[in-house]
Amino acid sequence: MKILHLGNAYFLESFRQLGHDVKWAGYHRTADIPLSRSLLDARSLLTQLPPHWYPDLIVLGDESTQPLVLGLKLFRCRWSGMRSIRTSMPIGTSTTPRLSM
């Protein structure tokens, strides 16, 4: 399976040991696709992938920051988020309190 691992590479080596073709896009200089600290558009990320390589799955490794890439719906594949070890809030849960009327 072709896996694009965004952010913290929690399962990068495990996926590779299982025989998956994994590309890692992250802030670390050793990432397959090193990212800057600014937001990246999904179309720009597509241009940085190897030719004819398209992910079957995108894994989001929580960076405890804003999303690394905007427009992930452009990728027509499944994606999954991994929450940070340091937090107990699932990805997608708002930390903003709701106002009751």
| Alpha carbon 24 to its chain's center | 8
Structure tokens at 81: 């988020």
| pLDDT at 94 exceeding the cut of 70 | no
pTM of structure: 0.71
| pLDDT at 85 exceeding the cut of 80 | no
DSSP H stretches of helix in the chain: 12-17, 42-48
Tens digit of each residue's pLDDT (9 = 90 or more) over 18-50? 999 999 998 888 999 998 867 778 888 888 899
Residue spans of the domains in the chain: they are 2-82
